[in-house]
A and B are shown apart, each in its own frame.
Chain A
Amino acid sequence: MTNIRKRVVITGMGVLSSIGRNVPEFKQGLLDKKVGIEPSETYSEYFAGAYASEIKGEVDYPGLDPDLITKLDKGALWGYRVGREALEDGGLLDSDLKKKMGLMVGVSAAGTEAYLPFIMNKPEETNLDMVKYSGSYASICPLVSSLLKIGGGYELVATACTASPNAIGLAFDAIQNNKGDVMMALGSEPLYVPTFAGFYALKAMADGPCTPYSNQPGMSIGEGAGAVIVEEYEHAKARGAKIYGELLGYATSSDAYHETAPDPKADGSSWVMRTAIANAGLKPEDVDYVNAHGTGTDANDRSEALAIKKVFGEGTTPPISSTKSYFGHNIGSAGIMELIACLVTLPEKKILPTLNFGEARTYADIDCVPNDFREKDVNVFLKNNYAFGGNNSCLVVSTKPGSIKQTEFKPQRVVITGMGSVSSLGTSNSEFALGLNEGGAVPMPREMKVELNDEEAKLLPLDENKMLHYRCHMVKPFNARKVLRSIDAKKLNNISLYALVALEQALKSADYKVAKTAREEIGMIMGISKGPTSTITRLCESLSPDPNNVRTSEFAMSLMNSIATQCAIAKGIKGYNTTLSSGVNAGFGAVFQGYEVIRQNLQNYMLAGAADEDSLGFSPLMLLGNEDFNYENTDNSYQAYAKENKGYVMGEGAGCVFLESHDSAVERGVHIHAEIMGYGRSCDQFYFNENTTAQPMADAINMALKEANLSVQDIDMVCGTTWAGEYATSMELNGIKLALGDHSASVPLTNYNGYFGFVEASGGLLNLTAVIHGMKDNLVYPILNTTEFSVAGLNYVTGSVVEAEIKYALVTGMSEGGNCYALIVKKGA
Chain B
Amino acid sequence: MTDNRPDDDILDERIRALTAARYNAPEGSVPRDAMWAQIAAARRAARAATAAEAAAREVDVVPLAPRRRSRAAVAGWSALLAAGLVLGVLLEREVFNEGPEQAVAVVPPRADSGPAAASPETARADGAPGAARRDVVAPPSAPAGRVRDGAPGAPQSYAQAEPRDLPALGDSTVQTFYRTAAVQTLVQAEALLIAYRGAEGTTRDPRALRDAARWARDVLSSTRLLMDSPAGRDPQLRMLFTDLELILAQIVQLSGTPLQANERELIDRAMRDRDLLPRLRSAVPAGLAAS
Bound pair (A, B): no
Chain A residues within CB distance 8 Å of chain B: none
